[in-house]
Amino acid sequence: MKALAASAASIPITLFGLVLVTFFIGRVMPIDPVIAIVGDRAPQDVVEQTRAALGLDQPLYVQFVTYVGQLLRGDLGRSVMTSNTVGQDILTFFPATFELATTAIVLAALIGIPLGVLAAVKQGSLVDQAVRVFSLIGHSLPIFVLALLSLLVFYARLGIAPGPGRQGIVYQDMVDIRTGVLTLDAALAGDWGAFWDAVAHLAQPACVLAFFSLAYIARMTRAFMLNELRSEYVITARAKGLSSTRIIWRHAFGNVAVPMVTILALTYAGLLEGAVLTETIFAWPGLGQYLTVSLLNADMNAVLGATLVVGLIYVALNLLADTLYRLLDPRVR
């Protein structure tokens, strides 16, 4: 409990460090943020007025103190790119990423973990080799190639998957947005046509991301399982005549589950951070795309806000992993 409290206490320090580094990197970029706001054509007096209005004519440390003050009041500032508050933007873009990442991690875990276990149990067999090749492909092929190949095969050639975007034309703007998670919103509205359309659009990018993630999950599961299967307690269990299923899933996997929590949490955090290339190719308006476009437009409030959210996600999932670790492994309680 004490260790958990210490972890929680380190969160503000981590976040402060994140804001500090991101803020100063943003300010020393060779791009004038005022140009991003008023445009290249604006008269010089408008440029200077805007610079003064935004406080960008102040020393860096004054700008930083002002920004942190705003943050403490819950004000992430306004995005130049969308004209909305950054808070509103994050509420708009993050649910799309959440929907995609959550589906992907669930798929990756459901397929990757059993594959890893199977490969370890059948070590050296054809199944093991197949899983290793499968994992290698998933982990080494660039994700944009996977995404384009997937579109080419399942959308363009076979015609069994819908194209890019979150909705078909028929359902465009037909669902009231409540949570931003389109499948959930369609279900809440009882519009099952829109629900299945959203599921169909979600399937392809989620499978691409899941393939990428499950390769890593399967490899790690295999490695952890091999380690456990060589342990003395497994040999003892076998000598006592326990069934293979019980030995593998109850005894060995029970111990593998502990480090796998960290693997899954970090993989999920990576997906929530925004899979930029996948989001771009599948025209998925998520946080990764928002962050990238903001960065290219020198929209520093948006970059800082989105980075902070990503940081919070990492910290929260790390804390969750720590907590689960302690619950699952009595040795670290």
Q: Left if phi > 0, otherwise alpha if psi is -120 to 50, otherwise beta: which for 52?
A: alpha
173 touches other proteins by CB under 8 A: yes
Site for other proteins contains 134 (CB under 8 A): no
Query: CA 124, 126, 130, 136 torsion: positive or negative?
Result: positive
How far is Cα 287 from Cα 217, in angstroms, rounded to an integer?
A: 24
From the list 11-19, 81-89, 197-205, 317-325, the region that binds other proteins by CB under 8 A is 81-89
Say if CB 127 and CB 119 are below 8 A apart: yes
For other proteins, the binding residue among 170, 190, 232, 330 (CB under 8 A) is: 170
Query: Interacting stretch for other proteins, rule CB under 8 A, among 39-47, 115-123, 212-220, 313-321?
Result: 39-47
Contact 155, 200 (CB under 8 A): no
Phi, psi for residue 238 in degrees, rounded to 5:
-65, -45
Q: Residue count at the site for other proteins (CB under 8 A)?
A: 53
Instruction: Name 78's bridge partners.
Output: 85
Contact status: 56 vs other proteins (CB under 8 A) = no
Which range, of 97-105, 249-257, 292-300, 323-331, touches other proteins by CB under 8 A? 292-300
Beta bridge partners of 85: 78
Which part of the chain contacts other proteins (CB under 8 A), choosing from 30-38, 58-66, 189-197, 310-318? Answer: 30-38
For the segment 211-240, give every residue that binds other proteins (CB under 8 A).
Answer: none
Out of 152, 235, 327, 332, which residue is the one contacting other proteins (CB under 8 A)? 152
Q: Work out the burial of residue 246: count CB atoms within 10 Å of its CB; fewer than 13 is exposed, 13-18 middle, 19 or more buried.
A: exposed
For other proteins, the closer CB: 14 or 84:
84
SS3 82: coil
Which one of 9, 40, 61, 240 is in contact with other proteins (CB under 8 A)? 40
155 part of the interface to other proteins, by CB under 8 A: yes
Choose the stretch contacting other proteins; rule: CB under 8 A; options: 110-118, 202-210, 238-246, 277-285: 277-285
Closest approach, Cβ 96 to other proteins, in A, equals 8
Give the nearer residue to other proteins in terms of CB position, either 202 or 248: 202
Q: What are phi and psi of 85, to 5 degrees?
A: -70, 150
Helices (H), the chain: 2-28, 33-38, 44-53, 60-72, 86-121, 126-140, 143-150, 182-188, 192-229, 232-239, 244-245, 253-272, 276-281, 287-296, 300-328
By beta-carbon proximity to other proteins, the closer residue of 46 and 316 is 46
Q: Is 140 in the site for other proteins (CB under 8 A)?
A: no
Number of Cβ within a 10 Å radius of residue 62: 11
Residue of the chain from 4, 62, 133, 296 that contacts other proteins (CB under 8 A): 296
Interacting span for other proteins (CB under 8 A) from 60-68, 129-137, 274-282, 324-332? 274-282
Q: How far apart are CA 17 and CA 91, in angstroms?
A: 24
190 makes contact with other proteins (CB under 8 A)? no
Please report, as ranges, the residues that interact with other proteins according to CB under 8 A: 29-32, 35-36, 38-46, 80-84, 89, 92-93, 145, 148-149, 151-152, 155-159, 162-166, 169-170, 172-173, 280-283, 285, 289-290, 293, 296-298
